[in-house]
A and B are shown apart, each in its own frame.
Chain A
Amino acid sequence: MLLLVEDNPAEARLTREALAECGLDDDLKVVEDGEAACDYLHQTNGFSGAKRPNMILLDLNLPKMHGREVLRTIKSDPALSDIPVIVVSNSCSPDDIKESYRLCANSYIAKPADIDELFSVIRSLVEFWFQKARIPDEP
């Protein structure tokens, strides 16, 4: 399953539309901020029994807890660090890109402005991570 950390419901909807084109929209869980993402992953604060995702799509610019912090938390937790985290951001800033990889992001996607491009990027992601790449099974 896929976890999308995105505070903007409109963005989330677009991502869901793109995933739908690939037939993956049923398996999508959306949380709206960094703290909620951590709670979800740690199955705390109402997320008890939450399903461990196969991959995380992480926006950087999040309320409460910044995406970078979420990334740091995931990658420094041995129980979670093996989940691929794809940073999906509006920022093209080299600093953000560099910092994300330094914190062990598995890839960094700058959200394209054009919807066709967005759909095509999401399709490539799905194809790569779910069909081409091998990722750990659930423990």
Chain B
Amino acid sequence: MKRESNQYLHFFEQSQDLLCIAGLDGFFKRLNPAWTTLLGHSMRELLATPFLEFVHPDDLPATLAEMENIRAGKPVIWFENRYRCHDGRYRRLLWRADPVLRRKLIYAIARDVTERHEALEQSLGLSAWQRAILDSADLTIISTRPDGIIQTINAGALCKLGYTEGEVVGRLTPEVIHDAEEVRRRAEVLSAELGRAIAPGFEAFVAKARLGLPDENEWSYIRKDGSRFPVVLSVTAIRGADGAITGYLGVGRDVSARKQAEQRRADAENLTRAILDNTPAVMFVKDASGRYKMVNRQFESLFHVTMDQVIGRTDADIFPAAMAEAFQRNDKLVLESGRPLQVEEIAPHDDGPHTYLSVKFPIMSPSGAPQLICGVAADITERKAMEREVALREARLRAVLDTAVEGIVTIDERGIVLSANPSATVMFGYEPSEIIGRNVSMLMPEPVRSEHDGFLQRYLATGERRIIGMPREVEAVRKDGSTLPILLSVGECLVGHARIFTGIMHDNSERHRAELELQKSNRDLEQFAYVASHDLQEPLRMVTSYLQLLAKRSSPVLDEEATGFLNTALEGAKRMRALIQDLLAYSRVGSRGRPFSPVCMARVLGDTISNLKLAIESSGASITSESLPEVLGDAVQLGQLLQNLIGNAIKFSGGKAPRIHVSAIRSSGTWRFAVADNGIGIDPKFFDRIFVIFQRLHTRAEYEGTGIGLAVCKRIVERHNGIIWPDSTPGKGSTFFFTLPAAA
């Protein structure tokens, strides 16, 4: 054992490699002579100095970090740092170390790799000035050891990544600045490409470089602060003189700017595309020979083609011949003139041809010749239809206005006449130019003329309607100063925010005259009827009286036949007298009527019943009523009305004891009365005839009377602005309804 250990000692003493045992306390415990040879320090000095003091200050952080690993029991496999020589220079040492924590010792072997490193540096061109070049390049240049630990990193990379050299060199692999997911994906791609499993790690960066294959890839670099930028990274293997790989070199080009530009271009393109595809207009680009180069989505959907189908085709391939020819003619105009063209074109839609307003314009080649033709076409079919509709409506309206008998005038809010149709100008005796633009009050007599502006303003301010919507008769003035009655109805309409009033005027002169004439004629007729029947009475009286006198004086000498003739003559005279009296009564309804006043209908019914006392008693009639209201009318005539109706009910009872009921119900401003009986009734086909004067439904033998009663009733009700109508079931009874104005 001892001999064996002596033999090892011999190796220890003779080894060119630097062997040592160091303590976890930071001091060398034992060193072989190679140390003194290499560094020039005495053995004593080496043992007495904490070994970290020999380490190059730049390498100290890395060395301390490695010491932490050792204290944790991890062996050092590959670690480089620089040791100070006695003469102040540094030697680069490549360490391999194994901690024995139990004894708090580290067994380490170091190899002087200064020369090799320098050679490497030389091969990397890392002379001071070359380094300066690397540092000034706008590239990330990172070299690693074969195991991936970063060996050198240029200023550009440090600056872009935000690390210091000490943080990365000799400590980290480039994985720290890569996206793990990207690395994994790359490893997958490479595994497939190279046909063997590539681990998702450093291997993914160098797998191809190791094989001597060119490898340039786009990666995301992750800065120390977590932000990213895109790089195009090319990785090369560095080989020593023996051809063995001594490390890798990664040169990265920051492509943020290019990427951003690409993004901007893509954004712009998307935007343009979005606009093109979402506009309701049809858009297209054709080349000079008429072949489509682009169409938008609207084009695709309207004409049921896809862009792919259209590109390279011409209009003739897509549209009906006539339309295609029209398109091509227009295209030709644009190409020949080199100027934009606005033109209406017809294109086929599913629902028939549509009209488009197309703007076609050329795009010039650098030489100035039209190279492409662009088109933007808007569907104006609806607008065209609307224009036609508007024109048609306008024409219709114009025709109505021009031919209307009514004068039609429109005015604005200030009363200024905007339009006047031919009837209006004729009605007032003006030329159109004399009315239009002037205040409409010129057509009105004083004092309305002066007040009209005020009316308008008040309406606009308060919205209080005085005349709008209520046709009324007003007086108007002609150009010559004469006045005429017009029936005026005023309407208003809003056009945008402007209010327009329309006045429709009917010349009422004629109607006025006619009304006056009718009134006069009615009066005359009544007067005639009154006078005639009055004057007829006297001669009739003579006829009757002298016939009677004859009968009185001559009866002894007259035979039976002569007496019969005499009696017939007397009967005729008597009936004629009854007719004349009825005619008188009928005409008196109009001519002898009294002014209206409130009339209690219950009282009128009471008076009527007492007037008819005899008839009621002899027929055994029972007359009932509900509470009857007060109406506005002529009490005498209303008495006559009830008397005629109840009298009829008793008269036409058909032998039964008459039961008569009088009632009334209110409907807004009027009362509707009903006089119902249980008599013989009236066949509905006679409803119209019963109100005609002297119309009778029965023979004189059946029922007496001249047929005046209901005619008088109708006249009385109508004089009260009411209506009268019957309802009846023959055999069951009749009901006469009539309306009268309520007293309040």
Query: A114 to B549, Cβ gap below 8 A?
Result: no
Chain B residues 530 to 556 lying within 8 A of chain A, measured CB to CB, are 534, 537-538, 540-542, 544-546, 548-549, 552
Q: Using an 8 Å CB-CB cutoff, how does the interface string of A84-102 with B read, 1 for contact, 0 for none? A: 0000001100000000000
Among the listed B534, B540, B542, B552, which residue makes an inter-chain contact with A11, where contact means beta carbons less than 8 Å apart?
B542
Known interface pairs A90-B534, A91-B534. Does A116 touch B548 (Cβ–Cβ under 8 Å)? yes
Query: A114 to B534, Cβ gap below 8 A?
Result: no
Query: B544 to A114, Cβ gap below 8 A?
Result: yes
Q: How far is the CA of A139 from the CA of B537 in the complex (A)?
A: 40
B577 sits at the interface (CB 8 A): yes
Q: How far is the CA of A111 from the CA of B577 in the complex (A)?
A: 14
Smallest beta-carbon distance A127→chain B, Å: 21
Query: A118 to B534, Cβ gap below 8 A?
Result: no
B534, B545, B548, B577: which has the most chain A beta carbons within 10 Å? B545
CB-CB < 8 A to A14: which residues of B? 542, 545-546, 549
Query: B534 to A115, Cβ gap below 8 A?
Result: no
Known interface pairs A8-B538, A90-B538, A115-B544. Does A17 touch B577 (Cβ–Cβ under 8 Å)? no
A8, A14, A113, A116: which has the most chain B beta carbons within 10 Å? A113
B541, B542, B549, B577: which has the most chain A beta carbons within 10 Å? B541
Chain A residue at smallest Cβ distance from B577: A113
Chain B count of residues within 8 A CB distance of the other chain: 13
CB-CB < 8 A to A113: which residues of B? 537, 540-541, 544-545, 577
Chain A residues 1 to 57 lying within 8 A of chain B, measured CB to CB, are 8, 10-11, 14, 17
Query: A115 to B537, Cβ gap below 8 A?
Result: no
Q: How far is the CA of A17 from the CA of B577 in the complex (A)?
A: 23
CB-CB < 8 A to A10: which residues of B? 542, 545-546
Q: A-B contact count, CB below 8 Å?
A: 33
CB-CB < 8 A to A8: which residues of B? 538, 542
Q: How far is the CA of A115 from the CA of B545 in the complex (A)?
A: 5
CB-CB < 8 A to A90: which residues of B? 534, 537-538, 541
Known interface pairs A90-B534, A91-B534. Does A111 touch B541 (Cβ–Cβ under 8 Å)? yes
Query: B538 to A118, Cβ gap below 8 A?
Result: no
Chain B residues 251 to 297 lying within 8 A of chain A, measured CB to CB, are none
Q: How far is the CA of A113 from the CA of B538 in the complex (A)?
A: 9
Smallest beta-carbon distance A4→chain B, Å: 16
> Main SS of the interface on chain B?
helix
Smallest beta-carbon distance B545→chain A, Å: 5
CB-CB < 8 A to B534: which residues of A? 90-91
Chain B residues 502 to 553 lying within 8 A of chain A, measured CB to CB, are 534, 537-538, 540-542, 544-546, 548-549, 552
Chain A residue at smallest Cβ distance from B545: A115
Query: A115 to B552, Cβ gap below 8 A?
Result: yes
Q: Using an 8 Å CB-CB cutoff, how does the interface string of B707-740 with A read, 1 for contact, 0 for none? A: 0000000000000000000000000000000000
Smallest beta-carbon distance A110→chain B, Å: 11
Among the listed A11, A91, A111, A115, which residue makes an inter-chain contact with B549, where contact means beta carbons less than 8 Å apart?
A115
Query: A17 to B541, Cβ gap below 8 A?
Result: no
Q: How far is the CA of A91 from the CA of B584 in the complex (A)?
A: 11
Query: A118 to B545, Cβ gap below 8 A?
Result: yes
Query: A114 to B548, Cβ gap below 8 A?
Result: yes
CB-CB < 8 A to B577: which residues of A? 113
Among the listed B538, B540, B542, B549, which residue makes an inter-chain contact with A17, where contact means beta carbons less than 8 Å apart?
B549
Q: How far is the CA of A17 from the CA of B553 in the complex (A)?
A: 11
Chain A residues 112 to 128 lying within 8 A of chain B, measured CB to CB, are 113-116, 118
Q: How far is the CA of A91 from the CA of B545 in the complex (A)?
A: 17
Chain A residue at smallest Cβ distance from B574: A113
Q: How far is the CA of A116 from the CA of B538 in the complex (A)?
A: 17
CB-CB < 8 A to A17: which residues of B? 549
Smallest beta-carbon distance B594→chain A, Å: 11
Smallest beta-carbon distance B575→chain A, Å: 12
Smallest beta-carbon distance A98→chain B, Å: 13
Smallest beta-carbon distance A91→chain B, Å: 7
CB-CB < 8 A to A11: which residues of B? 538, 542
Smallest beta-carbon distance A6→chain B, Å: 11
Chain B residue at smallest Cβ distance from A8: B538
Smallest beta-carbon distance B204→chain A, Å: 133
Smallest beta-carbon distance B314→chain A, Å: 106
Q: How far is the CA of A11 from the CA of B539 in the complex (A)?
A: 9
**Chain A residues packing against B (C-beta within 8 Å):** 8, 10-11, 14, 17, 90-91, 111, 113-116, 118
**Chain B residues packing against A (C-beta within 8 Å):** 534, 537-538, 540-542, 544-546, 548-549, 552, 577
Give the 4 A-B CB pairs with smallest separation, nearest first: A115-B548, A115-B545, A10-B542, A14-B545
Can you pick out 8 interface pairs between chain A and chain B where the beta carbons lie within 8 Å of each other? A8-B542, A11-B538, A14-B542, A14-B545, A14-B546, A113-B540, A113-B541, A115-B552
Give 4 A-B pairs besides A113-B541, A115-B548 with Cβ atoms closer than 8 angstroms.
A8-B538, A90-B538, A113-B540, A115-B549
